[in-house]
Amino acid sequence: MTRKTVFITGATSGFGRASARRFAEAGWGLVLTGRRVERLQELQKELGSKVPVHIATLDVRDAQAVARIVAELPDDFRDIHCLVNNAGLALAPQAAQQTELADWHTMIDTNVTGLVNVTHSLLPTLIRSGAGASIVNLGSVAGAWPYPGSHVYGASKAFVRQFSLNLRCDLLGTGVRVTDIEPGMAETEFTLVRTKGDQAASAALYQGTTPLSAEDVAEQIFYVASLPPQININRLEIMPTRQAWAGFAVDRDK
């Protein structure tokens, strides 16, 4: 059997790193990208004895860099069977009127433009792979459920949802599947990035409850990518059992 290869963005932490380990466990070849070369090298050292691993330092916001890395993939890594668009971030958890415009631009450039850059570059390869090839986009429950402080982050994940559905329409007949995976509360470096390193804020968010782990989400990513080729999971919303929705907020006279 020909070894399948997965291309993972944002592989240096969280869902991306956990996904690299899960796909390696199943024998897939790995193309791992991210901005922190030391972490990529650590993963290559950890997993390279199990499966072929190619690493590339990449900022997905740079369209030229994305195109170059895809064009320069070694022969053994050119046949990509699954793309995991994991690179993304949230910033500025305060109210919209209190945020810096630069933080909004960073979220749009990473969560929207970066995902588009990588997808566009790899579409020809995935279409060549044909039946059973997969694009797995990491969305969020924030793309469907509004909450204070979500502003541009939630809007960017709503884009991921609709882009995924639209891709399904365009790719009909190619055999390429598209899934939008939308996690709820998950304990990763996400909140540390969002609060710019505030460890206390991160700890407070998860205190006294049981959030999803990176491994929980990686298992679902692998699941949808390894299904029989006639099955497409369009959207998969995943929340911890201990998380649900709140009621509408109402502004009342004091």
Q: Which of 147, 153, 206, 223 is catalytic?
A: 153
Report the domain count for the chain.
Answer: 1
Q: Residue 129 is part of which domain span? A: 5-238
Give the model's pLDDT for residue 202: 78
> Is this model's pTM higher than 0.85 or not?
yes
Specify whether 223 is catalytic: no
Within-domain flag for 248: no
User: Alpha carbon of 16 to those of 13, 23, 30, 150, 215: distances in Å?
Assistant: 6, 11, 11, 22, 10
What's 21's domain CATH number? 3.40.50.720
Tell me the pLDDT of the chain (254 aa) as tens digits. Answer: 589 999 999 999 999 999 999 999 999 999 999 999 999 999 999 999 999 999 999 999 999 999 999 999 999 999 999 999 999 999 999 999 999 999 999 999 999 999 999 999 999 999 999 999 999 999 999 999 999 999 999 999 999 999 999 999 999 999 999 999 999 999 887 777 777 777 887 788 889 999 999 999 999 999 999 999 999 999 999 999 999 998 899 999 98
- Residue environment code for 218-240, b if the CB has 16+ CB neighbours within 10 A, otherwise e: bebbbebbbeeeeeebebbbebb
Within-domain flag for 243: no
Within-domain flag for 246: no
